[in-house]
């Protein structure tokens, strides 16, 4: 599948149930970290901790832009397998399903943001005030082969809300709907 999936978390408190890895190399008897730190949820879901891409920060409501977020790029086979499952295939998650992962990691967070970029460069919609179950439903509906797919950002519901004088509903139409993003290095 041609999509990028990011999860922004406001705290690190729930990560103890994930297996943490970072490759190292040894020089002169001393181990040095090499590469990105990453976490595993079961056999199919890999989370790579990284900086939030600037084009995503620009799409967030103003109150979210200056928060200290922990960003994970969700990699591995998990999203592809979820797509297959949603479209009728039987998947053996070996006890670590994508649904369970999302429920666990998002439910315990004060605030969260989920970013689903179709073709890794398209964000069409901003969904404000969704709870975890609604977020999972939005992801699954977007993975159905017979649906019109879109890129989107989901903001956590009001009990987890970051308050400011501008809500996501007040963000300009240009900021809510992007048909194409240009990347520059």
Residue spans of the domains in the chain: they are 3-176
Question: pLDDT tens digit string along 32-62?
Answer: 988 888 999 999 999 998 999 999 999 999 8
What pLDDT is stored for residue 87 in this prediction? 97
Long-range contacts, stretch 170-174, CB < 8 angstroms, 24+ apart: 171/61, 171/126
Sign (positive/negative) of CA torsion 7, 11, 12, 18? negative
Question: Residue 165 class from Cβ within 10 Å (0-12 exposed, 13-18 middle, 19+ buried)?
Answer: exposed
What pLDDT is stored for residue 158 in this prediction? 59
């Amino acid at each position: 599948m041609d999509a990028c999936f990011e999860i922004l978390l406001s705290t690190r408190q729930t990560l103890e149930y994930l297996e943490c890895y970072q490759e190292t190399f040894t020089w002169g008897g001393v181990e040095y970290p090499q590469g990105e730190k990453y976490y595993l949820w079961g056999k199919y879901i890999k989370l790579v901790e990284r900086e939030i891409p600037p084009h995503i920060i620009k799409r967030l409501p103003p109150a979210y832009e200056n928060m200290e977020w922990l960003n994970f790029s969700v990699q591995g086979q998990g999203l592809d397998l979820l797509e297959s499952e949603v479209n009728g295939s039987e998947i053996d998650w070996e006890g670590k399903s994508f649904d369970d992962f999302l429920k666990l990691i998002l439910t315990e967070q004060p605030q969260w943001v989920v970013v689903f970029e179709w073709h890794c460069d398209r964000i069409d919609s901003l969904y404000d005030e969704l709870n975890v179950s609604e977020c999972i439903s939005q992801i699954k509906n977007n993975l159905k082969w017979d649906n019109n797919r879109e890129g989107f950002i989901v903001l956590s519901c009001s009990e987890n809300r970051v308050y400011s004088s501008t809500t996501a509903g007040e963000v300009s139409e240009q900021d809510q709907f992007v048909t194409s993003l240009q990347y520059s290095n």
